[in-house]
Amino acid sequence: PKGVIHTHRNMLARFQAAWALAAMNAEDVISQTSPLSSIDAVDEIYSPFLLGARTVMIPHKIVTDPRRLVNLLEEEAVTRIILVPLLLRVILKAYDDIDQRLTHLNTWLIGGDALTPTLVKLFHEKLPRANLINFYGLTEGDATFHVTDLSETPPPVGRPIQNTRVYVLDSNLQPVPLGFPGEICLSGAGLFSEYWNRPDLNTEKWQINPFNDAPNSSFSRLFKTGDIGCWQPNGQLQYLGRHDRMVKIRSFRVELGEVEAVLTANPAVRGCAVRVWQTESADDSVTNQPRIIAYVTLKESSQATPMQLRDALKVHLPDYALPKQVVLLDVLPILPNGKVDYLSLPEPSEVEPVIAENFIEPSDEFELFLVKLWERLLKRHPISTRDNFFDLGGDSLLVIIMITELEKELGQTLSLALLFHTPTIVQLAAALREKGWKPAWSSLVPIQPHGSKPPLFCVHADGGAFFYNRFTSHISPDQPLYGIQARGLDGKEAPFTNVKEMAAQYIKEIRLVQPKGPYVISGFSMGGVVIYEMAQQLM
């Protein structure tokens, strides 16, 4: 949400520091997997160019599919990759032969979120010949790195990178003793210059560096990160968390106060509090991610349900910032000073679940297995066999995890679009029961298939139809909505080679739903080009 301005000088210092910690040369092949709006994408694209190395641009739809990502990394003989811990965990758990497949990939740089001891252990067990480098940094600039091994628990974020000084300070900008927590502050050539159009934030975050004797050097300014850490006796920096209410969800920054502000604006809400829960397990499950939970008290006249409140949030918040669960309370716990007592908010598992009147139990062992899987992934209990996966808080990341686990359990290769076609336990179980089940490819994804109005068909921008799932909170329940995804997302069907062929096939498929026009079609970016061609062919 904050624009961060970097200069060429910042970037060159950043690249030089990266080369110093993990040597790169013209023979290297680097994967570009990060979103183009992120600082990591700058590293992935420009740093290799300066050395004559090769960069492999990997589309987002492949990055989010572990099978296709590993296949591409193997085919292109990639030697270096930047990942967030969650994606690394999914890849390691999806393949038992990852070391034999990715023989060239010797440098894995991990950042954006905390690296757990069990993930470090899993990496070194499955990839004993590769290096796992844990780096601590922000969009504003990188700070430290650490080449991991199995001896340190929890893994530190390491020592300062080249051209950077790291301080752990108290509120008076004085160093704290060894082993004591303080705010991590940075100085150096690789840091950003300022925030875009935020003089208030620049004044708050940038200070004159009291530990620098050269006023015009790259160390003359001190950046206050807002992160808490401490120095260990061995000179390694330990990251301890944030001092404010900013959290990382799937490596995205989320301000919990902003989520509360959106909830408070709802006319049905009397009061609310939002906090994050995270439950660690011994196996470091891919589902042990921070979960945003919202606690709400309603006005006396309100009959709003948790699902209605969550749907209202979809209008204003991206999916990663949406609470996984909205819990209704009679009163919020309050401290003597009148503020919310966040530590006394009940764990979601302690809250009595609201069971719908039409709650349907599993009818057999297979449906029970799916229910238990959903409950574990979605952190919800109980789940009816008629509940919709996405209404319960499912998102595109959980779709990947769900499909990966089903493939390992059933020994089948499944399409990532499966849950869009069969979003309830009953529908999913019926599809999976079919002997030798293989999805007949369809570009149509029924997102909201029921209603009396003419269907709205939304054509993909980048291949996938996940984006249009969020439209359901903006349209009438009586409005049928179909997403149109590109052929070939399952890695089996051949993709289209031109727009005319693509448009003709999409027209053929929408006519299976709506035989006669007029048709309502929509699309943006590449999807806009496709619907223009569809309109030409329909005239």
Distance CA 374, CA 365 (A): 14
Predicted confidence at residue 137, as pLDDT, reads 86
Closest CA to 443 of 501, 394, 528, 505: 505
Predicted confidence at residue 61, as pLDDT, reads 79
Predicted confidence at residue 492, as pLDDT, reads 67
Per-position DSSP letters for 179-193, written without gaps between them: T--EEEEEEETTS--
Averages of pLDDT over each 10 residues, the chain, 539 residues: 88 91 92 88 93 93 84 96 87 86 94 83 92 90 85 81 94 93 94 94 94 86 93 90 79 84 91 83 58 91 88 85 89 84 82 60 81 83 85 77 80 77 88 62 76 88 77 83 82 82 90 85 91 92
Phi/psi at 469 (nearest 5 deg)? -60, -30
Predicted confidence at residue 287, as pLDDT, reads 56
Phi/psi at 334 (nearest 5 deg)? -125, 140
8 Å CB contact between 298 and 269:
yes
Q: What is the pLDDT of residues 161-183, one digit of tens each?
A: 998 999 999 999 999 999 999 99
> Where would I find the H helices in 463-519?
499-513
Phi/psi at 314 (nearest 5 deg)? -60, -25
Q: Which residues contact 528 (CB under 8 A, 6 or more apart)?
A: none
* Tokens found for residue 345: 């908010």
Q: What is the pLDDT of residues 214-268, one digit of tens each?
A: 777 889 999 999 999 999 998 999 988 887 778 877 767 788 988 998 998 899 9
Q: Which residues contact 287 (CB under 8 A, 6 or more apart)?
A: 376, 377, 379, 398, 401
Helix (H) or strand (E) segment spanning residue 166: strand 164-169
Phi/psi at 186 (nearest 5 deg)? -125, 155
Closest CA to 498 of 465, 441, 457, 537: 537
Per-position DSSP letters for 45-74, written without gaps between them: HHHHHHHT-EEEE--HHHHT-HHHHHHHHH
Q: Which residues contact 364 (CB under 8 A, 6 or more apart)?
A: none
Cis peptide leading into residue 160 (ω within 30°) = no
8 Å CB contact between 441 and 490:
yes
Predicted confidence at residue 280, as pLDDT, reads 54
Length of the chain: 539
Predicted confidence at residue 315, as pLDDT, reads 85
Q: Quick one: three-class SS letters along 225-245?
A: EEEEEEECCCCCEEEEEECCC
Predicted confidence at residue 439, as pLDDT, reads 47
Helix (H) or strand (E) segment spanning residue 532: helix 526-538
Distance CA 483, CA 500 (A): 19
Q: Is 257 exposed, middle or buried, given 0-12, 13-18 or 19+ CB atoms closer than 10 A?
A: exposed
Predicted confidence at residue 463, as pLDDT, reads 76
How far, in Å, are 141, 208, 209, 449, 467 from residue 213 at the CA level?
22, 11, 9, 68, 52
Predicted confidence at residue 440, as pLDDT, reads 53
Predicted confidence at residue 367, as pLDDT, reads 85
Distance CA 490, CA 483 (A): 16
8 Å CB contact between 287 and 376:
yes
* Tokens found for residue 438: 């293989």
Phi/psi at 270 (nearest 5 deg)? -90, -45
8 Å CB contact between 424 and 383:
no
8 Å CB contact between 107 and 79:
yes
- Which DSSP letter does residue 479 get? S
Per-position DSSP letters for 388-453, written without gaps between them: -TTTTT--HHHHHHHHHHHHHHHT----TTHHHH--SHHHHHHHHHSTT--PPP-SEEEEE---SS
The single residue listed with the structure tokens 């009586």 is 478
Q: Which strands, in side-by-side order, build the sheet including 291-298? A: 269-277, 291-298, 325-328
Rounded (10°) angle between helices 306-313 and 256-264 = 110
Predicted confidence at residue 251, as pLDDT, reads 67
In whole angstroms, how large is the CA radius of gyration of the chain?
25
Beta-sheet pairing, 4-5 with 481-484: unpaired
CA 442 to chain centre: 27
How far, in Å, are 109, 241, 273 from residue 260 at the CA level?
34, 21, 6
Q: Is 536 helix (H, G, I), strand (E, B) or coil?
A: helix
Q: Is 258 helix (H, G, I), strand (E, B) or coil?
A: helix
Predicted confidence at residue 435, as pLDDT, reads 46
Q: Which residues contact 532 (CB under 8 A, 6 or more apart)?
A: none
